[in-house]
């Protein structure tokens, strides 16, 4: 695989946050200047078409969104947990394995018709990413693509985004949970 160099920089922590889960920890990738730069370069290269804003999902998505925005000549839109942004916001609820959560953006974060690329570090079940797409579209954005560093394809999140009409891609994939 073309991104095996990046995959080797991501460590797996077994039984975190609970038994049976293999946590894919990107902090080891972030510690490598070359790994981080290469990740950003490859995410930028995977971007389809011109982009007005790169939307990053709290919190690790912020890192990649900001780094990608510079070479893409785009702004950065922060998607945060509800209650974390000052001023007027719009929000979207979504289901979690154990309940519900809510994400928000500033009400004036993007102009209607803005071309927005969604970015996060990892896609698992897709609940947060799908809610982010709904939220951005509610704000009037055009969202056609989502990029991730890591995909856990067995959990189906990227496929769910594709069914929602989003081109969803990741640099590396890990089987299992």
**Which string of DSSP letters, residue by residue, matches 97-114?**
TTEEEEEEEETTSS-TT-
Positions annotated as catalytic residues are 60, 97
Angstrom distance (rounded) from CA 29 to CA 92:
31
- Give all domains of the chain, ordered by start, each with its CATH number: 49-173 (3.40.50.2020)
Q: How confident is the model at residue 47 (pLDDT cuts 50, 70, 90)?
A: very high
The torsion angles phi and psi of 169, rounded to 5 degrees, stand at -140, 155
Size of the chain, expressed as the number of residues it contains: 177
What is the band of 1 on the pLDDT scale with cuts at 50, 70, 90?
A: low
* 96-140 per-position pLDDT tens digit: 777 899 999 999 999 999 999 999 999 999 999 999 999 999 999
**Neighbouring C-beta atoms of residue 55, cutoff 10 Å:** 32
The 10s digit of each residue's pLDDT in 150-176 is 999 999 999 999 999 999 999 999 997
């Amino acid at each position: 695989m073309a991104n095996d160099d990046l995959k080797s920089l991501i460590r797996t922590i077994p039984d975190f946050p609970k038994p049976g889960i293999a946590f894919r920890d990107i902090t080891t990738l972030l510690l490598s200047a070359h790994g981080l730069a290469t990740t950003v370069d490859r995410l930028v290269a995977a971007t389809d078409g011109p982009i007005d804003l790169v939307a990053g999902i709290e919190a690790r998505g912020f890192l990649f969104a900001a780094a990608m925005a510079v070479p893409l000549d785009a702004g950065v839109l922060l998607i945060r947990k509800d209650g974390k942004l000052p001023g007027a916001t719009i929000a979207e609820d979504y289901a979690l394995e154990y309940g519900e959560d809510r994400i928000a953006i500033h009400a004036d974060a993007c102009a209607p018709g803005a071309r927005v690329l969604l970015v996060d570090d990892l896609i698992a079940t897709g609940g947060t990413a799908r809610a982010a797409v709904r939220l951005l579209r509610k704000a009037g954005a055009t969202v056609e693509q989502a990029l991730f560093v890591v995909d856990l394809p067995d959990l189906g999140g990227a496929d769910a985004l594709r069914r929602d009409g989003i081109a969803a891609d990741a640099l590396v994939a890990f089987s299992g949970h």
